[in-house]
Chains A and B, each alone.
Chain A
Amino acid sequence: MTWETVIGLEVHVQLSTKSKIFSSASTRYGADPNTQACEVDIALPGVLPVMNLEAAHLAVKFGLAVGAEINRRSVFARKNYFYPDLPKGYQISQYEIPIVSGGQIVIEKNGSQKTIGITRAHLEEDAGKSLHEDFHGMSGIDLNRAGTPLLEIVSEPDMRSPAEAIAYLRKLHMLVRYLDVSDANMQEGSFRCDANVSVRPQGQKEFGTRTELKNINSFRFVEKALQFEIERQIDVIEDGGEVIQETRLYDPDRGETRPMRTKEDAHDYRYFPDPDLPPLQLSEQFIEEVRNELPELPDAKKLRFIDQYHLNPDDAEQLIISKDTADYFESAVSSDVGSAKTVANWINTELASYLNEENKTIKESPVSADMLRQLIRRIQDNTISGKIAKEVFKAMWAGQGSVDDIIEQKGLKQITDNAAIEKIIEEVLAKSSAQIEQYKSGQEKVFGYFVGQVMKATQGKANPQQVNTILREKLKSSSGR
């Protein structure tokens, strides 16, 4: 039987507000335990939450970017359960009326496009963390994270393969970063994903029984966990069993999912509207102001790059991967649209590989957009060859100065004097009688040998076009002799 996979994703995005969603404590990551937890965060008796409007602002920004409905009135509810790192014994979340309803994200799939629906996005607070090491059989509680604003983005069950799920996640990840809604740092947990997965026979309308996968906090894990879970479910069904609706934890060490230990009684969270917080009301003016500050979104930027800079879709796709990359590109091209293709190549290959190597973001690149522009200008005006340019790039990366300084210091200026090149070629040919014979007998490949020797003699500085032209003339005249 052929099986079809159905995947829906729930992504928790940590909103990049300075302070927490219901208190004025800082949200900075990495502080010492419990140094960023005020009386509200640790839920002292008598404290009350006060909504941080910046969180609503960011949620609306996201909603508008995915074409969603912004609910003018949304309601905070309490989700009640006991856990040591949940200080109030309930989490403040949005339940019946979220701030964002609907919306969509378009993913690329083998050159074609597919629309993934967004069901809703709601605001909620994060819990603290339980620490189990270093406490001699006891547990420690760190409440720095408690009260950090989250936007939970729930997709429709529209994805049909792990690849589509990854494409959706990457797109979502890119989008929230473009919008400056979140730094979406997966290592630090500011972009977390849970997946709902089921399988069904191809052609069947009803969904199969789903499981929920947790702890899949990297793109790689998402893919592996989904793959494993899909195969597991198919095996269960094909062996005559039934998939049980449950929450399963992904174990990256073993590459498998297994049921989370849960109590027999299903959780009853006893949601009810939080009487401490009036409904969140958003004015038309507020929403319009947010709409006006929306940046150019990745899809639009890609189309513009193709159109304005005559880039091919693949190059454009790579350049819009982050807003910083796209900005770097445009800054390096500056007004010289003719250089766009060359700039794109440099960013997507040379620069990308250096960044990758040192695990740096483009913002941290020692070679600024301005420096790259000057480098390309020196190639275009024949001061250096493309090959030498790579050497210059390396030197700039190492902080050895500007393009022109490096060319000057290292004497990398291209030799473009015909007479000088001719002289070197003659010296090379004089030492290469055997190769000349081969060439004459029709072995055209040997031409490359001569070029190589010339470049070697000039440390790569001879202008390649000139070398080619003069060399061909010389060989022709020597053969006519």
Chain B
Amino acid sequence: MHTKTIKRLCADLNAGEYSSVELAQYYLDRIQRYQSINAFVTVDPEFTLSQAREADKAIRKDKHKPLTGIPIAHKDIFCTKGMLTTCSSKILSNFVPPYDATAIKKCKDSGMVCLGKTNMDEFAMGSSNETSYYGPVKNPWNETMVPGGSSGGSAAAVVARLAPAGTGTDTGGSIRQPAALCGITGLKPTYGRVSRYGMIAFASSLDQAGTLTQTAEDAALLLNVLAGFDPRDSTSVEESVPDYTENLGKDLAGLRIGLPKQYFDEGLDPAVEQAIQESLKVFERLGAALIEIDLPNSELCVPCYYVIAPSEASSNLSRFDGVRYGYRAEDYEDLDDMFMRTRSEGFGPEVKRRIMIGTYALSAGYYDAYYLKAQKLRRLITQDFEQAFERCDVIMGPTTPTPAFELGAKTEDLIAMYLNDIYTISANLSGLPGISIPSGFVNRLPVGLQIIGSYFAEALILNVAHRFQMETDWHQKVPEGFAV
């Protein structure tokens, strides 16, 4: 049962093969059995089963929606009413939101069943899931390896088949990179496509919610639920939402695939490059044309990102001050001491590092040289893509320069850690949609192919990914230890 896609589970539920409660219990058992990968922060079986019972009722009364009864794991960055929401931080280790994030509410309203909250890098700051207050998530393909981050818990849960699907958020690659490292399908939609309301902010102008699934088809089904304008989020876009499954299967003949020469440069593991080249041949066979393109400002993406993201984060995380909710230091002398101790004790080192970088970049006298300059670079990077999309329909390349690396390998070398997101950050800076799909293995570790589309071209990249998955079976591979 665990290898079944959302699409298949829906059909089974509607046919009465099993109930939503049975399905939920099945996954709860797997979550229990495979605790060693540390994919979940919070699991509340009674909460899950009560939602499943509601779903079964709706199915019985024939009042169900397309995804009613389908279990899903939510990244612990989304506020869930009545259920602990920690952002994998000590500072929120006791926080139970009184409201649901819009993405959560949409899942609920469509009858989906919450399996629990997944582990992540603290406040989504990390590429390896090692910054979590609750300990690192382990890569199901090799438990000495990182699963990627920051949505590492959701990615690991989906590939280990502890959940048919997961939600994630992507600020610099936090959906696509763990999807690549875990060998699943990770979609980051266009900025503004999915509401950010109730999603704990890391970098507001970059954060975007998305999906972690086995297949592109499942991602389309889930995006149908999540996408849409939200009056509570002024940065969500009032753009009509198509049925993302409608175009799936469409012919790719004549598709122009842009290959940025900068994405196949030094820094890319040759073995990864080879896997990607093999995948590109599949598209050629499907009738697509490969075109080399130029994204001249690519090398500026990482420095640009590491000014903008920490700047916004330094301000976004100011609300965690111990006054109204969350962790508060026990012993303090006065107000300032309470602020300082609470934040010193409540945040982990990576979060503190980024708050300090951001505070510095926004300071009087440095603002122009850092924040303003980074904003200008951001415009240049965006222009590169706009020009590229005049010559091609989608852009492809590796999602990451290497497969998963060992736990602890890069925790001391931050630059190496940050360079992990070198191919994914640009889609956040420009706001473009991107998807990572499994496209081979290197040393028994998955490799991800990234497909970037133009604004609101989710339907197109989902179909491109879907067509690839009709030709390949990388996405169906399950890590050995989780195959039963």
Contacts and interface: CB of A to CB of B under 8 A. Distances in A.
Nearest to A38: B99
A25 to B, nearest CB: 13
A89 interface: yes
B197 A89 contact: no
B203 to A, nearest CB: 8
Contact of A89 (B85, B315, B362): B315
Contact of B197 (A46, A141, A271): A46
A29 B423 CA distance: 53
Most chain B CB neighbours (cut-off 10 Å) among A46, A82, A88, A272? A46
A48 interface: yes
A48 B78 CA distance: 13
Q: Which 5 A-B pairs have the closest CB atoms?
A: A89-B318, A275-B204, A270-B362, A275-B205, A46-B198
Contacts of A272: 311, 315, 362, 367, 371
Interface string B142-170: 00000000000000000000000000000
A80 B318 contact: yes
Contacts of B321: 82, 84, 89
Given A45-B87, A46-B101, A82 B367 contact: no
Nearest to B325: A44
Contacts of A88: 318-319
Given A268-B363, A277-B234, A47 B198 contact: yes
Interface stretch (B36-44, B90-98, B470-478): B90-98
Interface string B344-370: 000000000000000100111001000
A90 B198 contact: no
A78 interface: yes
A183 to B, nearest CB: 28
Contact of B234 (A44, A90, A278): A278
Contacts of A48: 196-197, 232-235
Contact of A84 (B199, B201, B231, B323): B323
B95 A276 contact: no
A46 B200 contact: yes
A70 interface: no
B312 interface: yes
Contacts of A45: 79, 85, 87, 92, 95, 97, 200-201, 319-320, 325
Interface string B322-356: 01110000000001100100000000000000000
B234 A270 contact: no
Nearest to A276: B204
A49 interface: yes
What is the interface residue range for chain A against chain B? 20 to 34
B327 to A, nearest CB: 12
Chain B contact surface mostly: loop
Contacts of B323: 84, 87, 141
Contacts of B325: 44-45
A428 interface: no
Most chain A CB neighbours (cut-off 10 Å) among B78, B196, B234, B312? B234
A82 B339 contact: yes
A157 B289 CA distance: 67
A46 B97 contact: yes
Contacts of B319: 43, 45, 87-89
B195 to A, nearest CB: 9
Nearest to A143: B324
A39 interface: yes
Given A45-B92, A46-B198, A276 B364 contact: no
B362 A90 contact: no
A461 to B, nearest CB: 70
Chain A contact surface mostly: loop
A42 B324 contact: yes
A51 B97 CA distance: 23
A337 interface: no
A368 to B, nearest CB: 44
A186 interface: no
A261 to B, nearest CB: 12
Nearest to A85: B323
A46 B99 CA distance: 10
A44 B205 CA distance: 19
Nearest to B201: A46
Given A48-B197, A276-B201, 4 more contacts: A45-B79, A50-B234, A270-B315, A272-B367
B98 A50 contact: no
A43 B79 CA distance: 13
Contacts of B231: 50
Contacts of B98: 39, 44
Nearest to B203: A275
A47 B197 contact: yes
B315 A78 contact: yes
Interface in A269-284: 270-272, 275-278
A39 B311 CA distance: 24
Contacts of B95: 45
A90 B311 CA distance: 13
Contacts of B198: 46-47
Nearest to A268: B364
Nearest to A88: B319
Interface string B62-90: 00000000000000001100000101000
Most chain B CB neighbours (cut-off 10 Å) among A44, A51, A88? A44
Contacts of B314: 80, 270
29 contacts: A39-B99, A42-B324, A43-B319, A43-B324, A44-B79, A45-B79, A45-B85, A45-B92, A46-B97, A46-B197, A46-B201, A48-B196, A48-B235, A50-B233, A80-B315, A80-B318, A80-B362, A82-B318, A84-B321, A87-B324, A89-B315, A89-B321, A90-B318, A268-B363, A268-B364, A270-B364, A270-B367, A272-B367, A275-B312
A428 to B, nearest CB: 82
A124 to B, nearest CB: 16
Interface string B164-198: 00000000000000000000000000000000111
A44 B97 contact: yes
A90 B204 CA distance: 15
Contacts of A39: 98-99
Contacts of B87: 45
A50 B363 contact: no
Contacts of A51: 234
Nearest to A141: B323
Contacts of A141: 323-324
B312 A49 contact: no
A270 B232 contact: no
Interface in B201-230: 201, 203-205
